[in-house]
Structure 1
Amino acid sequence: MFVSAVALAFAWIGGHPLSVQEPAEWSRLLDASAYTLSQAIDKGLREAGEGVPFHAELERDKGTVVFSIDVAQGSRTCNVVLDAKSGTVLEKELEDEDHAAEVGACRIGLKAAIDAAVDKNPGRPVEAELVLVQGRPAIRVKVLDGGKLASVDIDAAMGEAAAAQPGPAPAEPAYTDVFRVEAEEWTSTGANPYFILEPGWFLVLEGKDGDKDARLTITVLDETRRIAGVETRVVEEREEAGGRLVEISRNYFAMSRRTGSVYYFGEDVDIYKDGTVVKHEGAWLAGENGARFGLIMPGTPLLGARYYQEIAPGVAMDRAEIVGLAETLETPAGSFEGVLKIRESTPLERGTEHKYHAWGVGLVREEDLKLTRYGRAGG
């Protein structure tokens, strides 16, 4: 049984690797098929019984030319594989992948997007897929025109087509947003070299927030919480400015035993004013309202790797790019070498910020806040 993990060696869009099929191979697949992509979507939906198709592709699977159709059904996904020549159902599988929020944000479906794409760039469609383009839903349609493959993005919220691009669609900026981890891999305790999930571990960062003294205290608690079927570790963050408490968040993380990657399952947020909780802005949990877990720290950081840390459409869509692997940093707690530098942004707001993580320690700098103390409580 698989739930959503990471393949950082590839550039991914919407969870699927960029196609490397040659136009000649696409042509052979089309010639071997008795159905169009739209007809295959209809057949796949009838077999699924209900839901909203969000991905359809013509491909070769173990020598057989097939259509693979993914249909969102509430918090789950039904994958139907059809023989492209006979229309026979070869596979039908229900998966624990929630795409309700993405499909709910769309005003047009795959078939309408295919029609719009073919109007823009005449040819034979071979794939249609709902993807996130800078945080906005789009349907990417690949069309074979003669010996050339073009890709057309249809704004799924507006139903408008962007200019067709020859060959595979550009992936700039491309952030991984689907992760595959086997169920037995999960653990709520462990130590990624740059992100420690051991109860009692703490970090204190201090500096300035505007003209006020600021402090961020991060503590790995001896508490767990089950989210989306996975036991997660609770990590508390306390933010203070000018000597006053401004925010407490309880963040939920789990790690892959196999890769050492740490994943983010959401947070509960209390924002304070004058000692009173006034709002919970930014709170989200994987498995609720279309949210899915993201990657907070890869087990093997690669320069240039991009990935979503939070996937809660309309609420939290933080994403990261690894921009340095060997930084040197001076902090009140000491000097660190081989520091990991990460640039963070979100499609929901403008601007970026940088965070620095040291081997065997964790976060050592966040903007103007630098590490002043760290270790294990009681140690």
Structure 2
Amino acid sequence: MIKRLLLVKHSILNSRILPRLACVCCAVLVSACATDTGWLDNEETVLETAGPAKLKQVVAMQDRLDRVGGKLLINNAPLCRKQLRNLLGFSVANKYTYSPSLAALASETYGLDDRLQVMNVIPDSGAERAGLQRGDILLRIDNKPVPQGLHAERDTVEMLSSLVSKKKSLNLTVLRNKVPRKMTVSLTPACGFRIELGQTANVNAYSDGNRILVTQGMMLFAKSDEDLAYILSKEMAHNVLGHAKTLQNTHAATSLIDNLMLTPPRQAASTGLKPMPKKFDIDADTLSLAMSLRGGYGIDNATRFWKRLAYRFPATNAMNYTALHPATSARLEAMPNAITRIKAIDKRRKALATPK
């Protein structure tokens, strides 16, 4: 699919955030919740349901996924050797990217039509260096017309699949301010994980070995780019470590991600996934801290973030993140030492990379 190369597809949701549960429900998971609440952010943000506010919220979520996810995918290429892929470094959309209820509004607001338009350019990518800009309309790739219409993204993938594996750069023709422009975009080595925006208010994130999906509920909970980096890095780490395959979760995770990209998704009582064992989760935490740091994000607040998540969305709801990652106490206990160790390793790495 094109999202492997162009990153993520924009999606929408018409559901509401689940109610928060009380501290007493998760006291066994988060120690001293009655006395140590400096880490707790009580500010609430709700999902919009329709109209311009909904479109604005969805686009903002997608922008964050593109920006944060792109940095992590590119800067962690050395840690994803088995999953290394060539990345074009931009995301696209047309009017069919959105649900019928928002398609007309997307056309009015962003000028989207049947053609694929650049929505985001990933920092430090070949697309950024080539000068590609948001709003550019894709016309041709290596002299081949870019597909248009309802299945433009899917059809463009088929066209690109053979090109990106054989070349180091691609020639693009784009339309900018009604003037065609030609440019050569160098392909950027990156972790080859597609990052999706899920259409549900549940606060969760999933990975199936190839893809990562972050729900809209989780996007609202992860208030800063640093918070979002923790979530994305954790799912990247699960993919790198092959946890879905080892747990025989791949089929269930793939089906779940496919479902959560539908408009609206089918309702389910459970995810169908096996909970993550303690060792797997702690190993993924450690690798994810290194990934966040390599991506340019601080990791000193990671323990606080995961503590807040476990408190606000406990395992009593089977659809919450904590239900699939039940070893919260062990994770929180191990994380401070892991942060100290990873920061020391990263400092040595940077010192060795600095010319003397």
TM range (shorter): under 0.3
Q: TM-score, normalised on structure 1?
A: 0.24
Greater strand share, structure number: 1
Larger Rg: 1
Q: TM-score, normalised on structure 2?
A: 0.25
Higher relative contact order (CA 8 A, sep 6+): 2
